Amino acid sequence: MKRNCRPRPLLRAFRLGLTLFAALAILAGYAADRPNLIWLMADDLGYGELGCYGQRIIQTPHLDRMAREGLRFTQFYAGATVCAPSRSVLMTGQHHGRTRVRGNAGPANPRAQALRSDDVTVARALQAAGYTTALIGKWGLGDVGAAESGLPRRQGFDYFFGYLNQHHAHNHFPDRLWRNETQILLPNIVTPVGDYGGGYAEDGLLYADDLFADEALKFIANHASRPFFLYWSPVIPHANNERNRELKDGAHVPDYGPYARQDWPAQDKGHAAMITRLDSYVGRLLESLERLDLAHNTLVIFTSDNGPHNESSHHPERFQPAGPSAVSNAA
């Protein structure tokens, strides 16, 4: 969905975005009043988990408002079925058969999942057009060490705060995050699991996506006077795979919100709470744009990097994440 508040179009797109952004980048060189651009991309969210696409249980009032006030796209698809290549398609504008990153890679071959210095990203195009650019949240296309060519600030972003490594991003309560190329230590105590740097913090104090929401709104407020491109990439509702492996519950969230009293398994409550929490970030974003008088000149697109998952040990049939038609067709 897109937010551009006066006259309030909001644009909801499943992977339209790079073509639109590239066109805007070209036009930005000629436009006297260049629009701010915000790409807000959930992780492993099924389109059917939003009320505006038929969801009847999970509460998503702010995203539903975006759909009512703007545009709802129904013929767009993610660039790939898993994280890294889908994000590579977004960044480069190339389809899955041509973009550099073709699949998720492990630590044995990190360069296979990293953008290179000669790749042209949408962030670079917008940066060249005079935009201040920021990535907040999950990256997954470069890391320290052998994959440094793909670090965000080498791919067109002026500022980065979040996870570099997608396996590290499984943990919603991490003990560290990256600000540009500097690690920021957090007070969460992590139990490490597996060989990919994953784990979980059972009594976590700081939830990464809450930090990302605060950081994104701070970036917007600090750059309200000139055109900016914000790529906000929350992790939710992606599962903590390692926590699921150990505790059979990958839907790790600070609280169950409006689902706390539901007679559901904890995994179902957590999954629904993740999505409603994500929706609350959208509400904060839209309110902030209104308050800063940026809504009339800001394009907000909301989407997901790929389709729904079943890695939290929750019950997808409760929520029909692939949409009502998928369930009826299967029947």
Q: Answer yes or no: are the C-beta atoms of 184 and 255 closer than 8 Å.
A: no
Contact between 105 and 87 under an 8 Å Cβ cutoff? The reply is no
The pair of structure tokens assigned to 320 is: 């029909």
Domain span holding position 21? 11-330
Range of weakest confidence among 106-115, 122-131, 141-150, 204-213: 106-115
Q: State the pLDDT at residue 145.
A: 87
CA-based angle 311:208:300, to the nearest 5?
90
Does 69 have pLDDT greater than 80? yes
Written as six digits, the tokens of 133 are 């650019």
Place 195 in a pLDDT band, splitting at 50, 70 and 90: confident
Query: What is the rounded CA–CA span in Å between residue 11 and residue 88?
Result: 22
pLDDT of residue 15: 34
Which of 87, 131, 137, 132 has its CA nearest to residue 113?
87
Is 5 a domain residue?
no
Beta bridge partners, 72, equal: 12
Under DSSP, is residue 285 helix (H, G, I), strand (E, B) or coil?
Answer: helix
Render pLDDT for 253-311 as a digit per residue (tens, 0 to 9).
999 999 999 999 999 999 999 999 999 999 999 999 999 999 999 999 999 999 998 89
Number of domains within the chain: 1
> Domain for residue 53, yes or no?
yes
Distance CA 303, CA 287 (A): 19
What integer best gives the mean pLDDT of the chain?
88
Q: What is the pLDDT of residue 79?
A: 86
pTM of the predicted model, to two decimals?
0.90
Helices (H), the chain: 17-28, 61-69, 83-92, 122-128, 208-222, 241-247, 266-291, 316-319, 324-330
The residue with greater pLDDT, 220 or 82, is 220
The size of the chain, in residues, is 331
What's the pLDDT score for residue 323? 87
Residue 54 lies inside a defined structural domain of this protein? yes
pLDDT per residue as tens digits for the range 22-55: 555 555 555 457 899 999 999 999 999 999 999 9
CATH number at residue 182: 3.40.720.10
Position 320 in a domain: yes
Residue 268 lies in a domain: yes
Sequence-separated (6 or more) residues with CB below 8 Å from residue 298: 3, 4, 5, 35, 36, 37, 38, 289
